[in-house]
Amino acid sequence: MTMTDLFREPRTWQRFFVGVLLLGGAWLWLSRVDVGGSTAAAPAPRVGAPAPPFTAVLVDGGPIALSDQIGQVIVLNLWATWCPPCRAEMPALERVWQRHRDEGLLVLGLNQQESAERVAAFRAEFALTFPLALDPTGEIGRRYLLTAYPTTYFIGRDGTIRDVIYGGPMPEALIESRVTALLAEE
């Protein structure tokens, strides 16, 4: 009997069914996750992991530590003034920040390797009111494995990265929908 003949037999498929039911069920059982055990992931710039901690200097002076902001919904935007999509999405970030800042939203723009004067001039040009911080050496960008400008991390109240958007400009509706979903979570 050839393989083709074998597969023509309904009985072969019925045996397959029983095999999948028993062996597959056993494999499922073996693959179970220990829900009571520790599942805490190490900090990493990926969805599902805690956002890597950092402390940056605000354009106005003074430090801002990510760990101090946990408990809020955080939109962390890594950007530069020379990047056209970064410039294009700033007004949308500002509007979302204005709408939700009293509900526990923090929008944090983390500039990459530019001077405080340049960033301050940019902020004045776009009339931005959300906090802008500096990463003058690009150290935080490296920790976040920055590969594209802009890159935006949506961080939940528990400090876990919930979404990453590479590139831009992000439409306001995208930012708004992500933020409202995160704000609605307990």
Interface with other proteins includes 153 (CB under 8 A)?
no
Sequence-distant (≥ 6) Cβ neighbours of residue 151 within 8 angstroms: 77, 78, 144, 164, 165, 166, 167
Are 133 and 120 contacting, i.e. CB atoms less than 8 angstroms apart? Answer: no
Amino acid at site 178: R
| Residue placing its CB nearer to other proteins in the complex, 86 or 134 | 86
Q: Which of 56, 59, 170, 182 binds other proteins (CB under 8 A)?
A: 170
Interface with other proteins includes 5 (CB under 8 A)?
yes
Give residues 102-141 in contact with other proteins (rule: CB under 8 A).
none
Q: Which of 108, 128, 165, 182 binds other proteins (CB under 8 A)?
A: 165
Residue 8-47 contact track with other proteins, rule CB under 8 A, x = bound: xxx-xxx-xx--xx--xx-xx-xxxxxx---x--x-xxxx
Cα–Cα distance between 86 and 80 in angstroms, integer?
7
Are 92 and 107 contacting, i.e. CB atoms less than 8 angstroms apart? Answer: no
Amino acid at site 72: Q
Q: What b-and-e string marks burial along 144-164, b requiring 16 or more CB atoms within 10 Å of the CB?
A: bebeebbbbbbbbbebbbbee
| Residue placing its CB nearer to other proteins in the complex, 23 or 120 | 23
Residues of this chain that interact with other proteins (CB under 8 A) are: 4-10, 12-14, 16-17, 20-21, 24-25, 27-28, 30-35, 39, 42, 44-47, 49, 83-85, 92, 145, 147-149, 163, 165-168, 170-174, 176-177, 180-181
